[in-house]
Amino acid sequence: MTTASTSVDAPLDPIAIRADFPIFQRDFNGRRMAYLDSASTSLKPRRVIEAVTGYDSRYTANVHRGIYTTGEEATAAYEAARVKAARFINARDSHEIVFLRNATEGINLVAYSWGRRNIRAADTIVLTELEHHANLVPWQLLSQEKDADLEFVAIDEQGRLNQESFRVLLRTRPKLVAFTHVSNGLGTINPVREMVAMAHEAGALVLVDGAQAVPHGPVDVQELGCDFYVFSGHKVLGPTGSGVLWARRELLDAMPPFMGGGEMIREVHLRRTTFNDVPWKFEAGTPAISAAIGLGAALDYLSDIGMERLRAHERALTEYALEVLPREVPDIRILGPRSAEERAGIITFNLPDIHPHDVATLLDRDAVAIRAGHHCTQPLHERLGETATARASFNVYSGRDDIDRLAAGLGKVQAIFQRPGATETTREPAAAVTG
Ligand SMILES: Cc1ncc(COP(=O)(O)O)c(C=O)c1O
């Protein structure tokens, strides 16, 4: 690895790290891209790309089937990735790791399999106002089918979960509490351990959506104490099509299969089937083999860097952004917790009277890539009274130079909109808002 990982305590050097990411060699109108959309998907280091092409070019074969050299190599690499994923989030047992396409599929799996067996009419599921659509819609579908109730923990004016509201909802003795570890909308880091303890006390199981937490700092599912945890590989420097559901072994053992087909079976007869052990019981059909192997390489890469160092790097960058943007960009409105301590590397903001789509479109001319829209958190945006926001988000390759380019770009956007006639020509939002 060519990253600055010589000392455990040395700060990350994003400029050295960029050498590991081939996309930074691409020329965008004479400039390197300032990629500030890692919360949407992360860039991929060479090591991940080579792991994927290594499988495709040297040992392509299906897994758990071929009794020949490449078949055995593919199975070994796929199962080794599972062990790496288990280690990365400190799961007790790699059999607790189910490989799926993404975090969304993990939440749906729990809603269909655990939810359909355990949720009954008039049961309560507690969610929060911060949730991504992936942690709302599966529970809406389940509650409509089962005639169950959904309740929502309120947020305060800084986008932090109101713990008193949570305490009150726990008095309804919910069957399940499901909430995000880190908000993709505002960057808020939620007090997972404390909330899990409170939910267990009230008799509920807890699902944690870790899609925005695993990419940004150390996660230990045993320490958190939750029952289900999901994350997406493509946000952790891994390939698209890779994702993980972790659940306590006894829960997975008791849950019925989600999808039927090959791989998830032990014996099939014309009228009945017995099922494979976990986790394979939940991996019907040929899995995304190269994506899982690529995810294993991404987790190795991040482990070599050190997740504590990555968290420290992102906290410092967040502090820098919270200081520089209000100074350099008059009237910018930054949403979410005010302290970098309470948020991951996500800065959501708006400029008065300029639609975020216009902001993102104009920044793109300077090769600064940010996200604009509702970020798949429409209820959160409704709660905040915003139709859309702009969002800059970080990862290992993000540096102060990216934030400086963002600040300079936002200054240019404001100048364009202050020009006479700009109102008539450009104030219409660039496009419909999408997630
Ligand atoms: C908090 C959170 N949960 C879930 C998801 C869904 O991730 P995926 O689309 O990879 O399934 C995202 C994606 O942005 C997210 O930010």
Q: Identify the three-state secondary structure at position 124.
A: strand
For ligand 1, mutation pick of 107, 209, 231 (most atoms within 8 Å of CB): 209
Q: What distance in angstroms lies between residue 412's CA and the mean position of ligand 1's atoms?
A: 31
Q: What distance in angstroms lies between residue 211's CA and the mean position of ligand 1's atoms?
A: 5
List pLDDT tens digits, range 219-264.
Answer: 999 999 999 999 999 999 999 999 999 999 999 999 999 999 988 9
Ligand 1 atom closest to Cα of residue 234:
10
Choose the final residue of a domain: 304, 330, 365: 304
The pair phi, psi for residue 4, each rounded to 5°, is -80, 65
Ligand 1 atom closest to Cα of residue 106:
11
Ligand 1 atom closest to Cα of residue 105:
11
Q: Is 373 contained in some domain?
A: yes
Kindly list the catalytic residues: 376
pLDDT at site 430: 38
| Residue 109 sits in the same domain as residue 244 | yes
Helix pair 192-201, 163-170: axis angle to 10 deg: 20
Q: What distance in angstroms lies between residue 108's CA and the mean position of ligand 1's atoms?
A: 12
CA separation for the pair 407, 62 (Å, rounded): 49
CA separation for the pair 275, 281 (Å, rounded): 6
| CA distance readout (Å), 30 to 17, 365, 368, 402 | 20, 11, 13, 16
* CATH number of the structural domain spanning residue 417: 3.90.1150.10
Q: Identify the three-state secondary structure at position 398.
A: coil
pLDDT above 90 covers what percent of the chain? 92
pLDDT at site 418: 87
Which residues sit opposite 206 in a β-bridge? Answer: 177
| Residue 57 sits in the same domain as residue 104 | yes
Which residues sit opposite 431 in a β-bridge? Answer: none
**For residue 376, what are the domain limits?**
14-44+306-426
User: Is 36 a pocket residue for ligand 1 (Cβ < 6 Å)?
Assistant: no
List pLDDT tens digits, range 376-422.
Answer: 999 999 999 999 999 999 999 999 999 999 999 999 999 999 866 55
Q: Is 433 contained in some domain?
A: no
User: Is 212 a pocket residue for ligand 1 (Cβ < 6 Å)?
Assistant: yes
Q: What distance in angstroms lies between residue 100's CA and the mean position of ligand 1's atoms?
A: 13
| Residue 111 sits in the same domain as residue 259 | yes
For ligand 1, mutation pick of 181, 212, 229, 374 (most atoms within 8 Å of CB): 212
Choose the final residue of a domain: 304, 329, 352: 304
Residue 157 scores a pLDDT above 50:
yes
Residue 267 scores a pLDDT above 70:
yes
User: Is 102 a pocket residue for ligand 1 (Cβ < 6 Å)?
Assistant: yes
Per the structure, how many domains does the chain have? 2
Choose the final residue of a domain: 304, 338, 368: 304
CA separation for the pair 186, 205 (Å, rounded): 25
pLDDT at site 435: 34
List pLDDT tens digits, range 272-298.
Answer: 999 999 999 999 999 999 999 999 999
Residue range 113-117: mean pLDDT, rounded:
98
Q: What distance in angstroms lies between residue 93's CA and the mean position of ligand 1's atoms?
A: 25
Beta pairing, strands 205-209 & 149-153: unpaired
User: Is 132 a pocket residue for ligand 1 (Cβ < 6 Å)?
Assistant: yes
